Structure 1
Amino acid sequence: MELRHLRYFIAVVEEKSFNKAAQRLYISQPPLSRQIKQLEEELGVVLIDRQQRPLKVTEAGSFFYDHALQILQKSDHLRAMTMRKGSFDSSLSIGFVASILYGTLPKIISRFRQSYPTVQIKLHELNSWQQTQALTSGDIDVGFGRLLFEDASVRRILLREETLVVAVPINHPIIQEGRTSVDIADLINENLLLYPKTPRPSFIDYILGLFEANNLKPSCYFEVSELHVALGLVAAGEGMTIVPKSLQNLRGQEIGYLPLEQGLLTSPVIMNVRHFDKSALLKTLLEVTYQVYEEEGFVYKREQI
């Protein structure tokens, strides 16, 4: 059984016709029929009921179809990642979520350039889920995100936990009263501006999960397109938002930033790499990240690539 047999079978199932599948595959119909027949003989089961019109997949065929799709997808990802690996020594493509760009990422990249001045660095703003897809497709080599997703082809390295703070309009009573912190329960009746609206899942789902973990549910929240929109609306007095601490210097004349009294409310900073990718570039990037964390006094857990 070869990969082409899987592609042929998938085409027949999806087109529900040998003729249409042959046209899709740019081959004639008789050889296609023979290939599927040979596949069935090799497996010892009937995959397609040819007596039905349109063609009907048997129970065994349906099972085989689902797994054939997964195998082809992994094959395509492997090809893309291998092709990307071939050009890895001359360039490094990095995915990042916007909030991390306001933290230590610029310093990390600058320090990395000192070790590899001839390597071309390409930056791509992608949310955590998009980074997973980009890694498996070979579009990026490493990603810095904030959400954990299970994917057999991607390894998640938890770099550190970053404290979350509440962004509040500077003229809000909470600021005027001189409060130095805010309880998460105080936010459930406020206009909360959560981001990004799409694509999902994203940071908005993480924040809603924090409320749920504290047995709370915001009574009024609005989904906005991105971080900067949320902060702009806060500055205009339209509500509050929750951001990582590294952003607390943005729009300081219009926005006040208060820590949450639940000091354990944090957002993870995660480095995403392909499983089994142990290149010198990635090892250096991780080591540089730890060096910067040491200088900034961050608490972190050291891992190896």
Structure 2
Amino acid sequence: MEVRVLRYFIAAVAAESISGAAERLGVTQPTLSRQFMDLEAEFGHALFIRSNRKLRLTAKGERFYERAKSIVELCDRAKREMLEEDELAGEIRIAAGETPALKTLARAIKRLQAVAPKVRCTIVSGAEPTVKAELHSGVTDFGVFVGTADISAYSTLRLHAKDVWGVLTRADGPYAGKTRIEVTDLVDEPILCSSQAFERNEFAGWLNYLARDLHIVGTFNLLYNAYLLAQAGVGHVLALRGIINPEPGSGVIWLPLYPKLEADVIVAWEKQRRLSKPAQLLLDLLREEEAALDA
């Protein structure tokens, strides 16, 4: 299997036809068809569903397509890093959960821009499964985990800033007039919780024996969508402070949990991976920003 053939395969998927890919690539259709048949023979599985209509992938083909994209991206990245080894250039890719605590990382990136203007940063937002998948792919330099996560496989830097949990709720709802939310306030009320926090049971310790009385009516991955549900009165949203600042006139407020419940924010990278020069410089700058907070 050659990287060139993987590029052909990806092009055929994008064009949804072998003839269309052949035209874009400047090769003949029989050449591509033969390459794909050899590829299928090598793996022992059909990758395409062949018909007179648009080209479609089999289930095995879908899985292979994702791997092929990662392999090609790794090869392209390796080439770029070799060409840019003597200068600070290239890409730093960061997969991160949504958190205001990334202001420290943002300051480090701003400083990096000043000394390495040819370096670009790509941010991929997502919860723990997305962050881990990005790190595992090999194309992502750093992952940022928020809250409870298994980080034993990574080198890590725990940020000073912590996120604070609270509730997004209607100002004219059952919590009207309150300045904080206590455990008993949540009992028997409709609650919306992030998928990650729900699966990790992050509130178990805070709720104590009342955990079984929490009435979860739904989960979410994107907080803004949940905020709209809170605005509509669907339920109270367990949310970190500062990710969503309710718009004036929205009728929604954020109230902190009491006693205070905080979430750690951790920057992670693969232990066995040698960071590129730009990535290592960014990490050094981030450590400096964190050290300044101790001063």
Same fold, TM-score > 0.5, yes or no: yes
Distance 1:187 1:284, change over 3 A: farther
The structure that has the greater radius of gyration is 1
Instruction: Report the Cα offset of residue 112 of structure 1.
Output: 3.0
Distance 1:251 1:81, change over 3 A: same
Aligned twin of 2:173 = 172
Distance 1:225 1:170, change over 3 A: same
Instruction: Report the Cα offset of residue 25 of structure 1.
Output: 4.9
Q: Distance in 1 between matches of 2:152 and 2:72?
A: 17
Aligned twin of 2:204 = 211
Residue by residue over 1:159-186, the C-alpha shift from the partner in whole angstroms, topping out at 9 and shown as x without a partner, is 1432212111121131x32x21111332
Alpha carbons 2:159, 2:267 under 8 Å: kept:
yes
- Could you say what secondary structure the match of 1:216 adopts? helix
Instruction: Report the Cα offset of residue 150 of structure 1.
Output: 4.2
CA RMSD of aligned residues (A): 3.5
Residue by residue over 1:100-128, the C-alpha shift from the partner in whole angstroms, topping out at 9 and shown as x without a partner, is 59855544433432232111222222322
Instruction: Report the Cα offset of residue 240 of structure 1.
Output: 0.9
Q: Distance in 1 between matches of 2:117 and 2:240?
A: 31
Distance 1:215 1:285, change over 3 A: farther
Task: In structure 2, list runs of 5 or more residues that go unmatched.
Answer: 1-39, 45-69, 82-88
Q: How many residues matched?
A: 217
What amino acid sits opposite 2:120 in the alignment?
Answer: Q
Identity of aligned residues (%): 18
Aligned twin of 2:188 = 189
Q: Distance in 1 between matches of 2:78 and 2:283?
A: 18
Residue by residue over 1:120-167, the C-alpha shift from the partner in whole angstroms, topping out at 9 and shown as x without a partner, is 222222322222222222121112221422453x32322143221211
Q: Distance in 2 between matches of 1:109 and 1:93?
A: 12
Alpha carbons 1:100, 1:145 under 8 Å: kept:
no
Determine which of 225, 228, 247 is the counterpart of 1:229: 225
Distance 1:181 1:145, change over 3 A: same
Distance 1:100 1:280, change over 3 A: farther
1:219-298 to structure 2, matched below 5 A, reads 219-247=215-243, 249-254=245-250, 255-263=252-260, 265-276=261-272, 277-289=274-286
1:26-45 to structure 2, matched below 5 A, reads none
- Could you say what secondary structure the match of 1:194 adopts? strand
What amino acid sits opposite 1:149 in the alignment?
Answer: D
Residue by residue over 1:50-70, the C-alpha shift from the partner in whole angstroms, topping out at 9 and shown as x without a partner, is xxxxxxxxxxxxxxxxxxxxx
Q: TM-score, normalised by structure 1?
A: 0.59
Distance 1:82 1:270, change over 3 A: farther
Aligned twin of 1:34 = none
- Could you say what secondary structure the match of 2:150 adopts? coil
Q: TM-score, normalised by structure 2?
A: 0.61
Residue by residue over 1:39-97, the C-alpha shift from the partner in whole angstroms, topping out at 9 and shown as x without a partner, is xxxxxxxxxxxxxxxxxxxxxxxxxxxxxxxxxxxxxx999879746645511111122
Distance 1:137 1:83, change over 3 A: farther
Residue by residue over 1:179-232, the C-alpha shift from the partner in whole angstroms, topping out at 9 and shown as x without a partner, is 211113321321111224xxxxx23324x3313552332123312342111111
Task: In structure 1, list runs of 5 or more residues that go unmatched.
Answer: 1-21, 27-76, 197-201, 301-305
Distance 1:102 1:238, change over 3 A: farther
Alpha carbons 1:183, 1:260 under 8 Å: kept:
yes
Alpha carbons 2:158, 2:264 under 8 Å: kept:
yes
Distance 1:86 1:209, change over 3 A: same
- Could you say what secondary structure the match of 2:255 adopts? strand
What amino acid sits opposite 1:238 in the alignment?
Answer: V
Aligned twin of 1:132 = 132
